[in-house]
Structure 1
Amino acid sequence: MSVPASAEARGGPAARRDHILDAAEACFVRNGFHRATMQDLAREAAMSPGNFYRYFESKEALVVGLVERERERGAQLVEEMERSGDRRGALLDIIARYFVSITREAAVLRMEIWSEATRNPAIAALTARTEAETQDWFVATFSALATSPDCDPDRLYALLAPLMKGILVSRAILPDYDPGPAVAQLHALLEAGLDGRLPRTTRAGPRITALV
């Protein structure tokens, strides 16, 4: 496809990079990470393949760019929390806003990256590193916000993480999903954990039989 010069010249390098990441997100959501080709991605961004490769040399590099952009957005939320006079209230508000406002496309993209991590060692390493950084930040934040010596930040994160991932999965696969009740459960569990009100032991749930 012939791309008008104005489409490739629009904005500076940072703006063009952001435009490419937006296009990659749309293409990965529509076609899947595995099926999308670099030619598809360049076409989605309305750029010539040669110019596209100047910014990202592979699909893996695009995923790194998407993850880095998400990390930057997360850092902005953290700064917002740190500036707040009520860090605990700000954390609860940020969690609610993030999970209530996340689009289905963003949730699908997250699942695409997780799926590719099961096949691609580079994406798996990136995902593992991101997960570890996220856990470290939450555990440190829980430690700082705890109001009781009975608060166990590591255990609290271990309980919250599956709920947070479950919201993302539900948002991706259920078009009419309402995250409100799950977010309320997140808030209640977080408040209880910070106040040291979690039960000492967790009763085992019913055994799940694999369907084969």
Structure 2
Amino acid sequence: MSAAAGAVLDARGGQAARREHILDAAEACFVRNGFHRSTMQDLAREAGMSPGNIYRYFESKEAVVLGLADRERARGGALVERLEREGDRRGALLGIIERYFLAITRETAVLRVEIWSEANRNPDIAAMVVRSEEEARLWFTQTLAALAVSPACDPVALYGAMGPLMKGIIIERAILPDYDPAPSVAHLLGLIEAGLEGRLPAAHGNETDR
């Protein structure tokens, strides 16, 4: 590799590291002050950079939010890939539930709720949320279909029953400092097992037909 090519790679690596640093600073600001009370100047101060440098990497606060969402999607995809490579689909499903619901930090939950709230006002963020939701729905339904132990299992209805419970865990974790997600996660796992065995409660099964 030539010296010039090496310098280009080093510069790209430095840019990626600075983007990550800015996203970390933005996450801290959004969790502490909320999306609307956080300014680009606040993000720059948290990152120890000038506002001008922040704008070199993100043109707006909305672009920062999209960057945070893209980073989380990439991390989730890498986690799924690693879990499936190390074990089986059941292990991957349990690993995802542990990471995103049982072990979720309050900071992560607060940020998720902030993004959901902003989706009501910003069409770009709304489109990103819809895309993420669709990706999650597709992965879960395919995984549930692969794990079904009864022909009576309806993966679509099962995921429809899981969705409100999963979102509820995140919201409770965000608004209640001492919230323990373990009981709700246990209920979620019980619901999954019942659904895989074709024993999904009728009320849940009917909801997807309306």
TM-score normalized with structure 1 length: 0.86
Structure 2 CA distance for partners of 1:191 and 1:203, relative to 1, 3 Å: closer
SS at match of 2:152: coil
Residue in 1 that maps onto 2:201: 199
**Contact 2:158–2:205 (CA under 8 A) maintained in structure 1:** no
Q: CA RMSD in A?
A: 1.9
Q: Distance in 2 between matches of 1:90 and 1:134?
A: 13
TM-score normalized with structure 2 length: 0.86
Amino acid at match of 1:51: N
Residue in 2 that maps onto 1:60: 62
Gaps of 5+ in 1: 1-8, 205-212
Output aligned runs, 1:109-124, within 5 Å: 109-124=111-126
Q: Distance in 2 between matches of 1:97 and 1:131?
A: 17
Q: Distance in 2 between matches of 1:203 and 1:65?
A: 36
Residue in 2 that maps onto 1:151: 153
Identity %: 70
Query: CA offset at residue 194 of structure 1?
Result: 1.4
Residue in 2 that maps onto 1:132: 134
Structure 2 CA distance for partners of 1:22 and 1:91, relative to 1, 3 Å: same
Structure 2 CA distance for partners of 1:152 and 1:59, relative to 1, 3 Å: same
Query: CA offset at residue 201 of structure 1?
Result: 4.2
Which has a greater percent of helix?
Answer: 2
Output aligned runs, 1:3-22, within 5 Å: 12-22=14-24
Runs of 4+ in 1 over 4 A off after TM superposition: 201-204
Amino acid at match of 2:51: P
Output aligned runs, 1:1-212, within 5 Å: 12-202=14-204
Gaps of 5+ in 2: 1-10
Structure 2 CA distance for partners of 1:149 and 1:119, relative to 1, 3 Å: same
Q: Distance in 1 between matches of 2:193 and 2:86?
A: 18
Query: CA offset at residue 107 of structure 1?
Result: 0.5
SS at match of 1:148: coil
Amino acid at match of 2:35: F
Which deviations, in whole Å up to 9, do the C-alpha atoms of 1:82-110 show, x marking residues without a partner?
Answer: 12443213412431243222111110011
Q: Distance in 2 between matches of 1:79 and 1:110?
A: 22
**Contact 2:157–2:205 (CA under 8 A) maintained in structure 1:** no
Amino acid at match of 2:19: R
